[in-house]
Chain A
Amino acid sequence: AQKITQTQPGMFVQEKEAVTLDCTYDTSDPSYGLFWYKQPSSGEMIFLIYQGSYDQQNATEGRYSLNFQKARKSANLVISASQLGDSAMYFCAMREGRRGNDYKLSFGAGTTVTVRA
């Protein structure tokens, strides 16, 4: 079974608007971490934001925020005030706290975001 599901293969967003990227996850472990990475056309993987399963507040990093809904197993990324440089592939990933296996990142298939001027 897929651990991370990103249902939006591609999205278009107007410059300066906000965009929400969906991510749902599947785990029975009470301890886990959720990550978002950005991969621009240059190919590098850039870490954006992290949310721990026990964190009480939603994570924020500049224009990035994570809408964490634990009961729904949802960790959507919100990019506010989109810029042309935000055009990229975005990956949601999860690490679970199973003893001895807690280093593995499970990645979603990714969502391509294209920002229009």
Chain B
Amino acid sequence: DARVTQTPRHKVTEMGQEVTMRCQPILGHNTVFWYRQTMMQGLELLAYFRNRAPLDDSGMPKDRFSAEMPDATLATLKIQPSEPRDSAVYFCASGLVKGLAGDRFETQYFGPGTRLLVL
């Protein structure tokens, strides 16, 4: 049963520290998404990759957040420096776009999330 994996599952850190979250998308998937979930804002899209290329990171605070895909099996989301307002659950999701002739709206499969608390 293929799943998206995320590490760490929980992270507690102090303000100002760097936080790195990792995601392994489902093998063969060519799209990766980073979301943030908070009680106040709900689910927000932070970044989107297709075939490892970043296509949209407009949802991320540019000065402190960065997202990369060093290879097809790893996506990373970094926060430097972290702030208390970054406390949230961060989800990675992956999907497979089959092309114009296929199912254009691919399903996004979510990982278990990283629960981040910045003190």
Contacts and interface: CB of A to CB of B under 8 A. Distances in A.
A103 B55 contact: yes
Contacts of A33: 104-105
B43 A107 contact: yes
Q: How large is the interface on A (under 10, 10 to 19, 20 to 34, 35 or more residues)?
A: 20 to 34
Contacts, number: 52
B2 to A, nearest CB: 12
Nearest to B48: A103
A32 B93 CA distance: 19
A45 B44 CA distance: 14
Interface in A70-93: 91
A103 B31 contact: yes
B104 A102 contact: yes
A44 B112 contact: yes
Q: How large is the interface on B (under 10, 10 to 19, 20 to 34, 35 or more residues)?
A: 20 to 34
A25 interface: no
Interface of A: 31-33, 35, 37, 42-47, 50, 52, 91, 95, 97, 102-105, 107, 109-110
21 contacts: A32-B105, A33-B104, A33-B105, A35-B107, A35-B108, A43-B113, A44-B110, A44-B111, A45-B93, A45-B110, A47-B108, A50-B105, A97-B104, A103-B31, A103-B33, A103-B55, A103-B56, A104-B48, A105-B33, A107-B43, A109-B42
